[in-house]
Structure 1
């Protein structure tokens, strides 16, 4: 796996497609490696004529880990950050979402890419929002998927998801136990109308564990999200064509978060997909690719009324 140096750290990356095609940077969520992007999703973007760039965030995959800032207990970190957030106590993350946006920008610069389309999922959507707002000259279009503006007062995860997030593997040192916990979480946050087969979830989890397992890095990324200031004012400065995609059944980042994100960005288009949770189910691959392509090519009309999809 190739690596590059950006923003003072080592970042693992991968590319697919013709380097002469329109560049598109994929920015994933908390703890998700570049290999977490579904192959059919990446292949679909390439077939649409994009030069696709994926990378591992700091503290994830094969990129630089921030263990020097101290090891974190994942469950304790999640609980502590939730308490501090609700009590409005200060949190001291190892880094901020702005740093992660600088990492993404650094990837583009290291590859000699002047401008690119951005597609961000969950935390990756937040990172992409920051990049689009702070460096508009480097962004061709923005697609923010199942993400949030971070505005205070927006709903958070359902009680069931909170419990799943706090649940540790029965044996943190046993691979099968870790896989069980990861599969259980994905089943809780996944799309109820478009479930991913359990065998497929297990294969994905095992593949990720073979490549990297860094729960302390996940905790530090989560703290960066929890401690981030709201981006309402920042989003209002975005001028690039923006598409917001959100699942109506998202139990981790509820639909209201996507609705608010679209409302803050001038001219943004909101696409609400019924039955979609907090994942990228293969059943919606064609629909998602069509939306991203339309936004990137300037064929997405703005509307104050969200469109609702029930399938392909």
Structure 2
């Protein structure tokens, strides 16, 4: 068992590699307990997660994060097609010998997580969805400021504040600085940022799709499945407005929606301990 001096944390744990179907999936693995595989956001890599959130979650669970194929430290062909991102998570679970696991995701990763649950329901214990969208047509789309900031060649702290926090709140701006500094604390074995040319190419390849087009019964599955799902969203969500969940949740059997006030697209970075506590309680009791 790890001692306090040797305990693996999100900042000091080594990146590992799973050889799967001719490619290497880079992943990190901390904590013990029921395994949680977390799927990344748009333009995200292993080092896009706030270490405080991962460490708080790893107190009670085995937390596994990874780079999608061809991005960050992973090899293979990169893709933002949701089925391909979901397959990365499933292939990693297979490589780690996980027959059943909790699937989770942030933003774009929340879409991938829902696809995993739809295609492999027998393997999913629970579904954790952060700052993401339900399947199918939605009433409220992303705010224009999201595209203005998210497609800049390089995002700085001010961009992060606008994209993931609530820039009109002094408390939220302070939380953005704190989260940025926690992420920056890891200085070795860091996954490289995704070049903007690659981002634009991936977007171009998937431009024929709606954000989460319902072409495989995803929405009906969400409404009828008994797999417990926890949706965590900020009330200042500029990418996937939380109002769209209001249209879906009342028709479901097992989706639980939590809206956190004065928070944006990254509530788990603004309030890492609170979000980890909510997820832990949901996994235990949901």
TM-score, scaled to structure 1: 0.73
1:285 matched to 2:272? The reply is: yes
Aligned to 1:12: 26
Aligned to 1:145: 130
**Cα 1:116–1:220 shift into 2, 3 Å:** farther
Identify which of 187, 205, 228 aligns with 1:241.
228
1:212 matched to 2:192? The reply is: yes
**Cα 1:220–1:295 shift into 2, 3 Å:** farther
Aligned to 1:28: 40
Aligned pairs for 1:131-280 (under 5 A) are 131-166=116-151, 168-169=152-153, 178=154, 181-192=155-166, 193=169, 194-195=172-173, 196-198=175-177, 201=180, 204=183, 211-215=191-195, 216-222=197-203, 224=206, 227=209, 228-230=212-214, 231-260=218-247, 262-263=249-250, 265-280=252-267
* Contact 2:51 2:182 (8 Å CA) reproduced: no
Aligned to 1:96: 81
- How many Å separate the matches in 2 of 1:54 and 1:210? 13
CA offsets per residue over residues 233-280 of structure 1, 9 Å max, x none? Answer: 342353211111111111121112333453464221111111110114
Aligned to 1:78: none
- How many Å separate the matches in 2 of 1:4 and 1:160? 37
Offset of 1:187 from its aligned partner? 1.8
* Contact 2:51 2:183 (8 Å CA) reproduced: no
**Cα 1:24–1:262 shift into 2, 3 Å:** same
Aligned pairs for 1:71-86 (under 5 A) are none
- How many Å separate the matches in 2 of 1:134 and 1:40? 31
Say which SS state the counterpart of residue 54 (structure 2) adopts. Answer: helix
**Cα 1:61–1:95 shift into 2, 3 Å:** closer
- How many Å separate the matches in 2 of 1:264 and 1:64? 40
Aligned to 2:114: 129
Offset of 1:127 from its aligned partner? 0.6
Offset of 1:211 from its aligned partner? 3.2
- Structure 2 residues without counterparts, runs of 5 or longer: 1-14
- How many Å separate the matches in 1 of 2:179 and 2:276? 21
Say which SS state the counterpart of residue 164 (structure 1) adopts. Answer: helix
TM-score, scaled to structure 2: 0.79
Say which SS state the counterpart of residue 236 (structure 1) adopts. Answer: helix
Say which SS state the counterpart of residue 12 (structure 1) adopts. Answer: strand
CA-atom RMSD in angstroms: 2.8
* Contact 1:101 1:128 (8 Å CA) reproduced: yes
Which deviates more from structure 2 when the two are superposed, residues 221-230 or residues 31-40? 221-230
- Structure 1 residues without counterparts, runs of 5 or longer: 68-93, 170-177, 301-312
* Contact 2:31 2:63 (8 Å CA) reproduced: yes
Structure with higher helix content: 1
